[in-house]
Every structure is written in C-alpha cells, then in structure tokens.
Structure 1
Amino acid sequence: MNQLEWTLRNDICEVSKRLYHAGFMTGGDGNLSTILGPNEVLVTPSRLCKGFLTPDQVVKIDKQGNKLSGDYQATSEVAMHLAAYEERPDICSVAHCHPPILVACTVAGLDIPANILPELELLFGGRIPVAPYATPGGSELADSIRDSIRVRENSTVLLDHHGFLAIGHDIYQAAMRVEQAEAAAKIIYYARQLGGEKPLTAANVDRLHQSHAKIIETDANVYSGYCQADECQSKGEKVSEDEIEQIIRRVVEQALEGSK
C-alpha cells in the first residue's frame, strides 16, 4: 500500500468520526468514498459503526463496484457513489449521511427555501434539490440522484425520507458541505419556531453575489496536499508546501478584495 492510499484511508476514518460525533452517522448508517486512481475507489464498509472505523477496514473497489481488496463488504449504497462519479467527473469524494434536521425536512415535505441565508446562496446556489424517494441501496437510489447531481451548480442533494448526499474535491470538502447544510437547516427550523423565516430581498441577493464574484472556491489541494483532479488521478502527484501556501494566499487576497 502506497502513501497516497494510506493517507486517503486515514482521511475517510477521520471524517467518519467527525460526522459520527456530530450525530450525522449513527450506528451503521452513512457511507463515504473517495477516488484513489483511474479505476479505484475507497469506500466505507457495510454495517460497521463509522465512529470507530480503522484504515484497514476501508474497502477498495473498482468503478464497476467490484471489490478489489478488503475484509468487509462495501456499503450497500455504493451504486449511488459510483453514479455521482459518473455524472460529475470533476469530483473525487462523496459523503452520504443522515443529518437530523435535513432529513426531518424531507419527512415533513418541506424544501430548504431559497433566499434565506447568505451561505445558502453562496454555497448551494440558493436551494438544495430534493431527489425523489427511492429504496435505499441498489440502482433505484443511484438513479434518483442523477438529474440533480449532474448540474454543475449542485454540490448537495437531499434524499427524500432518507438522507443527504454531498460531493467534493476531497472527503473533507464533502463533509464540510454536510455540516454547512445542516447548520443552515437548523437556523431555518429555529426561525419557524419563532414565527417563520424572512427571505432576503432580490436586491440583497444580487449584491451578495456581486461582492463575492471574485472569490474562487478553495482548491482541493488546500485540504489534502495532493492533486486528485481528473488529469492527475493516474499520477498521484504531490503538491509542494510552497504551492499550497500560494493557493491559500491567493484565496485570502481575493476574499479580502471582494469584501471591500
């Protein structure tokens, strides 16, 4: 096992514990995956508690879902992960879990409304799409997310009466999107207990997008230290600390300029 694979296995375990302790992956629920190579994917095992996952328990599969190595079976929802990778060749990781407020919204038949919070506008394009209910596991669930996830502006999808899916350049970014979406849903929930949410005006939304137009989304290398983009998947190229520092400096400078 090379250093890249070991690092990615550790990343999956760290994020699993983080989401478990946040209450988003209870018991054996939830699953994570990340691309290792052109035809290799690392994925969490079925039925194991993600809060106590170890690197050796992570399963390696190919992009057809066949197990390449591992003592456990891959998650039963692996087809959903592979569907996300098929529809979005620009991503390298998928996180699926069950954040309570987000799932409760689907059970109650409520969408996450648009134009409510700045972070919803900037991070999720105003609203989070809801995929129709599908039986967990198998091709039906995989097919249910395709229409939503293939839209480049969508980085998350609510699964009706089931859970939540987030994609990213690495597993940390996917997990961060889970946390941000649940936090927004919680604020909306509290607002409704206090009498209902008050939307941002169209002018507010326009100014928000204009002020952040120059801010680019943080590159995956800032999180992981190596390139996993399409053109580098087969190379496993390492990004130097100087390059990471330059990326961070550029993002910060653009953020400061956009806030003036």
Structure 2
Amino acid sequence: MTTVPVQRSENGSHQEQRGAVAALHQELVRYGLVTWTAGNVSERVPGADLFVIKGSGVSYDGLSWEGITVCDLDGEVVDGVRAPSSDTAAHAYVYRHLPEVNGVVHMHSPYATAWSARGEAIPCVLTAMADEFGGPIPVGPFALIGDDSIGQGIVATLAGQRSPAVLMRNHGVFTIGDSARSAVKAAVMCEDVARTVHLSRQLGAPLPIAQADIDSLYERYQNVYGQR
C-alpha cells in the first residue's frame, strides 16, 4: 500500500507574527540554549484559536516566517508547508488549558536539562531566581513525545506555581509567558540559574533564602522593577 503524503498549503496568513517568532529563535541560539534543529518557540494568535510554531527539523540558519506553521488548538495545521514541531501537541495542550499563556518555549539547554535528568527541582537560592521564578523551578513527570502527555505534565506541574519554567524529567525545559518573548526570557533565565546553582553546589551547600524574602523579591521584581 502506498502512503500518500499530506498536502499542506501556504496562504501566507499571520506573516508578521510568524516572522517575529522566527526571529525569537535566534535568541535561543545566541544564549546557547539549543543544538542543531532541536527546540522551538510558539505563540498564540491574538483573537483566534490558533498558534504559530517552528516547523519540525527546520534549521535555525536563515529561519523566516515560512519556517513557522500555523496550527489550531488541537495541533492541526491550518496554514504552512512545513510539518509543525514534534512538540506541537504539548504546546496545543498548554494553550487549551492555560488561557493566560500566549507563548511557549521548549529547549534542551545543558545545565537545566542536567537537572531534569536527575529529576531534581532547582532550589531557589538566588535573588535573581526569586525575582523571575518566585521559588524553585519544579520537575514534571517523564512522558513520551508524540501526543499531549507532555502538555498534561506541564499544566499539572505548574498548577499553583509561580514559576514560568518546568523541567520535564529526562527530557528538557518548557517555559511559558504572556508572549513568546517573555517565554524566551524565562528560558534564558532558567538556564542561567541552573548553571549558577550547579556551580554553587560544587563548592558546598547553597544557602537558602527565607520564604518571606523570596515573596518580597518576587513582588518587587514583578510589579516595581523596570520601566512602567
């Protein structure tokens, strides 16, 4: 029996957003968070039950809007000629179940993924970590790629957490945000603190930060820090 390839069409919808998401992938390269074609950024399309995501196995070199595919919230292709990321079902599950989330990033960055391989949360022992994550970076369950099992683990693990990042056991990192850009920022910060806490543990036991101080730092950073 001959398998007929799925025919995809390109109507060029959402070009501006797809171009912006394509450009954000270069931040993953810039900060050394991805290897070869692994990793992806997605973003919800405003006002529609759609999101855009990097094509599966598409190179970061010269990535343009055409390498980004439009999908519905069931992960089905709506527009584009590239098969979407193998993580599409996970992203779609997050968007279906967390309406406040507008951006998702996945990566296998070295230090954070090393913590995930140990199945160990990253403890909140840095003020920068309290600022961005409001506590430890939690570990989600092991799940195979291909369906929405990973998405289920992400949503369940982040429930009640302030952290925009989760370490999926034996896999890698997923981050969320109110935009793709904020999810990319969380990804950059996650790898940074994973590395620093790892280095600290080589010298001895990191000193804990009191919960009241973590709460204060988080409140200041989220509501006072930066330009308003």
> Normalised by the shorter chain, which TM-score bucket?
0.7 to 0.9
Aligned to 1:241: none
Question: RMSD of the alignment, in Å?
Answer: 2.5
Say which structure is richer in helix.
1
Aligned to 2:202: 193
User: Deviations along 1:103-129, whole A, 9 cap, x unmatched?
Assistant: 011213432013x01122232121111
Q: Does 1:209 align with 2:215?
A: yes
Q: Which among 138, 163, 169 is matched to residue 160 of structure 1?
A: 169
User: Deviations along 1:193-243, whole A, 9 cap, x unmatched?
Assistant: 22231222x2xx42453366465459xxxxxxxxxxxxxxxxxxxxxxxxx
Q: Does 1:20 align with 2:29?
A: yes
- TM-score scaled by structure 2? 0.85
Gaps of 5+ in 1: 219-247, 252-260
Identical amino acids, percent of aligned pairs: 24
Gaps of 5+ in 2: 1-9
Are the counterparts in 1 of residues 42 and 105 from structure 2 also a CA contact under 8 Å?
yes
Residues 51 and 138 (structure 1), Cα distance of their counterparts in 2 relative to 1, 3 Å cut:
farther
Aligned to 2:104: 94
| Number of equivalent positions | 217
Aligned to 2:15: 6
Are the counterparts in 1 of residues 101 and 177 from structure 2 also a CA contact under 8 Å?
yes
Q: Which among 119, 122, 125 is matched to residue 112 of structure 1?
A: 122
Q: How far apart in 2 are the matches of 1:118 and 1:171?
A: 24
Shift of 1:95: 0.7
Q: How far apart in 1 are the matches of 2:214 and 2:155?
A: 29
Aligned to 2:75: 65
- TM-score scaled by structure 1? 0.75
